[in-house]
Structure 1
Amino acid sequence: MLERTLEPEVMDSEAEARDYDQMDHSQVNRIFVEDFLSSLHRFGVADTSGIHVFDAGTGTALIPIELMQQGFAGNVTASDLAESMLAVARRNVQAADLSASINVVLRDCKQLPEPEATYDAVMSNSIVHHIPDPGKVLAELWRVLKPGGLLFVRDLVRPASIEAVEKLVLTYAGDSNEHQQRMFRESLHAALTLDEVAAILQELGVDANSVKLTSDRHWTICCRKS
């Protein structure tokens, strides 16, 4: 099994923010949002107008924007620890004319200022692999979620070998520039295995079966807080 190799927790240079924003995330983001909305509906949320969502590690806010464009009627607090990412996120939100629905904020998701049970739903795409101790982030996301709320977290799964890493880089970033390929490669090395995520959930008192493999490179936590 490939050992986990940590990468920088914060992608906070202009080059990283620009390259990340310019990578084609459209299909991944669309599927993420479709799955998130489907999970809300499955847990009985038919009307999203009063729903307040926390997006942990929003990057350049592409997922909250996609969420609104798919008909979500609530509002989103979109958070990140990287000022460079947030600068691009604010421009993206403004360009999409969604400033009234998406609030872009600076947050360290290992230690959130929000009180317990603040949000109706918490979502996150690809923040966990950035964190040296990802249990801290998952614990905080669970803490700020209201009882009955949806936790929906998706991230990369660490492949079993370097060969498997390179196959994924070629498949999903083969047309990207060298810096973008390196970011994806390093993220795969820093990602968690399904068993590692399940163990963290168990420590938090969350059903370990809430995490499942959902693609050839992703795991997803989907559960309702009792």
Structure 2
Amino acid sequence: MLKIGTEHIKNAGLQKQIVLELVDAKQLPYPNTHFDLVLSNSLIHHLPDPLPFLQEIKRVLKPKGAILIRDLIRPADRETLHNLVESIGTEYDSHQKQLFADSLHAAFTLDEVNQLISQANLQDVKVYQSSDRHWTAERSFGG
């Protein structure tokens, strides 16, 4: 992903504006209150315990910084999970469908996400279901 991203950045001529780095999301190598915005897409469900990552977001984010996190939401039951997997289309093979099912199964509910956000002491973050398969947590600039 980083290799492809780097190619896209180079092709767009944005090497001075965008830098990609491979880092541990639970121990970010950045100083406190360093960033204006933290953006995360589809990472949380891959973490056995996302709390350290959310605590790192709080640490590296400026006090009035913005947050945009999006991830899969765990379906309420097996039937809903099955229907979501089947809805992704015929262009996906059985292995890809199984990976998607595994990701949905590993995802968090809205209540669990709200509890994690609270435990990380991230203030003024709105958590909501943003599609049939995603939740979003956001905070605008300025808190």
Which TM-score band (shorter chain)? 0.7 to 0.9
RMSD: 1.9
Cα–Cα, structure 1 residues 178 and 94, in superposed 2: closer, same or farther, change >3 Å?
farther
Q: Which has the higher contact order (CA 8 A, sep 6+)?
A: 2
- Any idea what the Cα deviations from partners look like across 1:154-187, whole Å, max 9, x if unmatched? 1100012222112111212442233332322211
Please state which structure has a larger fraction of its residues in helix: 1
- Any idea what the Cα deviations from partners look like across 1:183-213, whole Å, max 9, x if unmatched? 2221111100000011111112235862111
Please list, as runs of the form range in 1=range in 2, the aligned pairs for 1:139-150 lying within 5 A after superposition.
139-150=55-66
Matched, 1:186 2:102: yes
Structure 1 unmatched runs, 5+: 1-84
Could you state the TM-score of these two structures normalised by the residue count of structure 2?
0.88
Structure 2 unmatched runs, 5+: none
Give 4+ residue runs of structure 1 displaced > 4 Å after superposition: none
Counterpart for residue 121 of structure 2: 205
Could you state the TM-score of these two structures normalised by the residue count of structure 1?
0.58
Cα–Cα, structure 1 residues 88 and 166, in superposed 2: closer, same or farther, change >3 Å?
same
Return the alpha-carbon distance in structure 1 between the equivalents of residues 117 and 18 of structure 2: 29
Q: Is the 8 A contact 2:66 2:138 kept in 1?
A: yes
Counterpart for residue 159 of structure 1: 75
Cα–Cα, structure 1 residues 176 and 150, in superposed 2: closer, same or farther, change >3 Å?
same
Q: Is the 8 A contact 1:202 1:208 kept in 2?
A: no
Return the alpha-carbon distance in structure 1 between the equivalents of residues 138 and 95 of structure 2: 32
AA aligned opposite 2:111: D
Alignment partner for residue 102 of structure 1, among 10, 14, 18?
18
Q: Is the 8 A contact 1:159 1:165 kept in 2?
A: yes
Q: How many residues are aligned here?
A: 142
AA aligned opposite 2:31: P
Report the alpha carbon displacement of residue 91 of structure 1 after superposing the two structures with TM: 2.3
Return the alpha-carbon distance in structure 2 between the equivalents of residues 168 and 128 of structure 1: 19
- Any idea what the Cα deviations from partners look like across 1:10-67, whole Å, max 9, x if unmatched? xxxxxxxxxxxxxxxxxxxxxxxxxxxxxxxxxxxxxxxxxxxxxxxxxxxxxxxxxx
Specify the SS of the correspondent of 1:93. Answer: helix
Matched, 1:170 2:86: yes
Q: Is the 8 A contact 1:156 1:219 kept in 2?
A: yes
